């Protein structure tokens, strides 16, 4: 393991990205828009009563937390991995005396810091203006943070194995777009998962997408039973391990097909 090199890559990504901080802020603002719209829709629909068990203020809390979770788990790096393979820039990853995975991981960590510089102040301002209602406990906070860590791991490696399909197909990023759509539908963005129609709800409870975003939010808001919490962690861990193993398998096969175009 070459942690010294990994840390250097993170710093270099920061240095590069800070040159274009305004571009990232605009990009991140775009990513925030969809949950913000659904926050306004559902909090408005709840009115002065409750809807799906949540008041208007609780919907605002749900979506503000979801915005943070979505930003923290969203893997922008994987959108570039396909191009790195297709355009031959993977050469540099392969030539350095470190695991090639360090490169996207460093990019990912650097990206989180740059985007959070923007997201946290915006979410804080929205919290002051819109007055969310959040009733939680410390044990829920801890469990939610644990679920958040697994959610990032799962979402990153799920996107990574999809991106690695670029070894075979020129535009693997179409699959990332499909993943984003499924996250939108099943991860609690279009509506909290427990409010989805029965069929969607069943699919969301077993497929990986809910565990990438909605699951940590549900835990923090106390919208999940102790039994579902345990089952949820098991599903999340199984999907995360599956995604990691699949990534390793696809890398192993794909690298033998790599054509290193250009240069």
- Which residues lie near other proteins (CB under 8 A)? 2, 4-5, 7-9, 11-12, 15-16, 19-20, 88-89, 91-92, 94-98, 255-256, 258-260, 262-263
Q: How far is CA 4 from the centre of its chain?
A: 26
Angle at 41 (CA atoms; ends 35, 45), nearest 5 degrees: 140
What are the contacts of 181-187 at 24+ separation with CB within 8 A?
A: 182/207, 182/209, 183/155, 183/209, 183/212, 183/213, 184/34, 185/209, 186/210, 187/212, 187/213, 187/214
- Residue with Cβ nearer other proteins (194 or 258): 258
Neighbours of 248 (CB within 10 A): 15
Closest distance to other proteins from the beta carbon of 159 (Å): 24
Closest distance to other proteins from the beta carbon of 114 (Å): 13
- Residue with Cβ nearer other proteins (84 or 151): 84
Handedness of CA 139, 208, 185, 151 (dihedral sign): positive
- Residue with Cβ nearer other proteins (19 or 48): 19
- Residue with Cβ nearer other proteins (131 or 171): 171
Closest distance to other proteins from the beta carbon of 32 (Å): 25
Closest distance to other proteins from the beta carbon of 119 (Å): 23
Closest distance to other proteins from the beta carbon of 231 (Å): 41
Alpha-carbon span 31 to 54, nearest angstrom: 24
- Residue with Cβ nearer other proteins (172 or 240): 172
């Amino acid at each position: 393991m070459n942690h010294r090199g990994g840390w250097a890559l993170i710093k270099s990504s920061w240095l590069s990205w800070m040159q274009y901080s305004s571009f990232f802020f605009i990009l991140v603002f775009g990513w925030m828009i969809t949950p913000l719209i659904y926050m306004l829709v559902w909090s408005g629909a709840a009115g002065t009563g409750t809807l799906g068990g949540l008041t208007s203020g609780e919907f605002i809390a749900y979506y503000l937390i979801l915005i943070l979770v979505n930003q923290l788990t969203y893997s922008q790096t994987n959108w570039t991995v396909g191009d790195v393979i297709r355009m031959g820039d993977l050469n540099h990853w392969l030539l350095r005396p470190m695991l090639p995975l360090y490169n996207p991981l460093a990019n990912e960590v650097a990206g989180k810091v740059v985007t959070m510089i923007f997201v946290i102040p915006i979410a804080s301002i929205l919290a002051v203006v819109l007055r969310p209602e959040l009733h939680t406990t410390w044990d829920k906070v801890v469990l939610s943070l644990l679920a958040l860590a697994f959610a990032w791991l799962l979402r990153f490696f799920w996107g990574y194995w999809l991106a690695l399909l670029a070894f075979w197909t020129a535009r693997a990023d179409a699959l990332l777009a499909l993943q984003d759509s499924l996250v939108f539908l099943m991860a609690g963005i279009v509506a909290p998962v427990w409010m989805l129609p029965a069929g969607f709800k069943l699919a969301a409870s077993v497929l990986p997408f809910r565990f990438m975003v909605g699951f940590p939010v549900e835990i923090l808001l106390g919208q999940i039973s102790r039994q579902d919490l345990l089952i949820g962690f098991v599903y999340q861990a199984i999907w995360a391990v599956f995604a990691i193993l699949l990534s390793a398998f696809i890398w192993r096969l794909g690298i033998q097909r790599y054509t290193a175009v250009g240069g």
